Chain A
Amino acid sequence: MSELFSTLSLYLSRSFVVNALIVGVLIALCSSLLGVTLVLKRYSFIGDGLSHVAFGAMAVAAVLGLTNNMPLVLTITVLCAVLLLRMGKNAKIKGDAAIAMISVGSLAIGYLLMNIFGTGSSNLSGDVCSTLFGSTSILTLSDFDVWMCIVLSVIVVLFFVLFYNKIFSVTFDESFARATGQRAGLYNLMIAIVIAVIIVVSMQLVGSLLISALVIFPALSAMRVFKSFKSVTVCAAIVSVFCALIGLLTSILAGTPVGSTIVAVDIVVFVIFFIIGAFTKGRKA
């Protein structure tokens, strides 16, 4: 046991590990806050779709040889989030079909561009693998990445706290919110933008294929045990941060892939909460 702690202590002396823990906790917190809203609004897969858009945008940035791809990826993903929301309401291609179309389209075009034009390195499969599964990207963050993540996380948390009541009302009954004069469209738009920001930031932690897990698992786990919006949100945030920390530490200690390990911890916690939920429900009955 003491050997484990001395190894952990050695790893924690590396600044890139500390950066990874800070960014991991922030990403987990942000993704869980909006995760509850997404699950309740049946938008679980918008995260998956937008993460593929972000992958396509990263491919464009790589082809253009941009050292810092975050601004471009963020802009394209936010635009697609807004587009998806607008298309969902008015266009001929609606909802899930629009998400699926943009999702697979971005993934395919991104990979195609990387193959045709290259990425500035001959390590194409490695770049794709790292982007899709986030193999070690969170452990190789630059100072700019860390600060960008901190700023974006503060914005997301502030948005959630300041607009908590509005988010609550458009989540549970959008029609009622509209009838009572609330600008549901505007709040939906803001939620879509914030989701896009979370997706782009989260890609560094678990990769674009595993982001949905980070968004939905904590919310679903919390919903097994708690019933009110507030308690589910608080529990989801705690669960998400806990899983990210345990997953990251397990990954660096055991040498397993970061993204997959965090998602595996999320699954284990979901099973535990499912059992607790079934047990407490049975006692009440």
Chain B
Amino acid sequence: MITSLAACGGNAQSGASSSPTEAGKETESVGAEAEKTGAPADGVDIDLTAMSGTMVYSEVLNMQKTPEAYEGKVVKMSGPFNVTDYNGKTYFACIIADATACCSTGIEFDLKGDHSYPEDYPAPQTEITVVGVFNTYMEGKSRYLQLKDAEMIA
């Protein structure tokens, strides 16, 4: 069971206000092989900022379907910043929308080092660019996607 942020209605904020569990989209892992993505010079394995909207959304959906294929890869993505409070914990995510403008999904990120909210973070819905290592973790019975050791570069 894989869970990540997902929302609908053409408005990222609608899903952004939900907790990861509430807004989670469950998909089954089908066990794909790790893909050759080409490694750009800046060390980023998958640069979502250089892709079209359709490709970005498809890539993120594939990350949700086959996270094993992406584990350990350095991912760069941009989109509206999102904050979610759930069970006393605060989650930060970068949201992307699909080409039909009816859905949005996103990936949680965990910044490298010590940071406190709201001092070290931008206002919700601010356009951000994040680079981090793709990772999955278990919380309760659900598996979540995350960019760990992330850096907010814009």
Contact indicator B6/A122 (Cβ below 8 Å):
yes
Q: Give the complex CA separation of A123 and B106 in angstroms.
A: 13
Contact indicator B25/A257 (Cβ below 8 Å):
no
Q: Which applies to chain A's interface (DSSP): helix, strand, loop or mixed?
A: helix
Neighbouring A residues of B56 by C-beta, 8 Å: 255
Interface 1/0 per residue, B38-56 and A, CB below 8 Å: 1000000000001111111
Whether A140 contacts B99 in the complex (CB less than 8 A), given A14-B37, A121-B24, A122-B6, comes out as: no
Interface size of B as a range? 35 or more
- B36 interface contact, C-beta 8 A: yes
Neighbouring B residues of A125 by C-beta, 8 Å: 8-9, 102-103
A31 to chain B, nearest CB (A): 21
Q: Give the complex CA separation of A142 and B61 in angstroms.
A: 12
Q: Give the complex CA separation of A29 and B129 in angstroms.
A: 41
The residue of chain A having its C-beta at the shortest distance from the C-beta of B64 within the complex is A140
Which residues of B come within 8 Å of A, CB atoms? Answer: 6-9, 18, 22-28, 30, 32, 35-38, 50-59, 61-62, 65, 98-100, 102-103
Q: Give the complex CA separation of A67 and B61 in angstroms.
A: 15
Neighbouring B residues of A144 by C-beta, 8 Å: 30
The residue of chain A having its C-beta at the shortest distance from the C-beta of B69 within the complex is A15
- A139 interface contact, C-beta 8 A: yes
Interface 1/0 per residue, A237-260 and B, CB below 8 Å: 000000000000001111111101
- A126 interface contact, C-beta 8 A: yes
Interface 1/0 per residue, A90-129 and B, CB below 8 Å: 0000000000000000000000000000001111111001
Number of interface residues of A (CB under 8 A): 35
- A212 interface contact, C-beta 8 A: no
Can you add 18 more A-B contacts, CB < 8 Å, to A125-B102, A129-B102? A13-B37, A14-B35, A15-B35, A121-B6, A121-B25, A122-B22, A122-B23, A122-B25, A123-B6, A123-B23, A129-B103, A130-B103, A133-B102, A135-B57, A139-B55, A140-B61, A252-B55, A258-B99
Contact indicator B8/A257 (Cβ below 8 Å):
no
- Identify the interface centre among B9, B23, B51, B56: most chain A CB within 10 Å of its CB: B51
A200 to chain B, nearest CB (A): 19
Partner of A257, one of B24, B36, B54, B59: B54
- A151 interface contact, C-beta 8 A: no
Q: Give the complex CA separation of A10 and B25 in angstroms.
A: 28
Neighbouring A residues of B59 by C-beta, 8 Å: 14, 16
Contact indicator A11/B55 (Cβ below 8 Å):
yes
The residue of chain B having its C-beta at the shortest distance from the C-beta of A135 within the complex is B100
Whether A10 contacts B38 in the complex (CB less than 8 A), given A126-B103, A140-B65, comes out as: yes
- Identify the interface centre among A14, A120, A252, A257: most chain B CB within 10 Å of its CB: A14
Pairs across A and B, CB under 8 Å, 17 listed: A7-B50, A10-B50, A11-B55, A13-B36, A13-B38, A15-B35, A67-B28, A121-B27, A123-B7, A129-B102, A133-B102, A135-B98, A136-B54, A136-B98, A140-B65, A252-B55, A252-B58
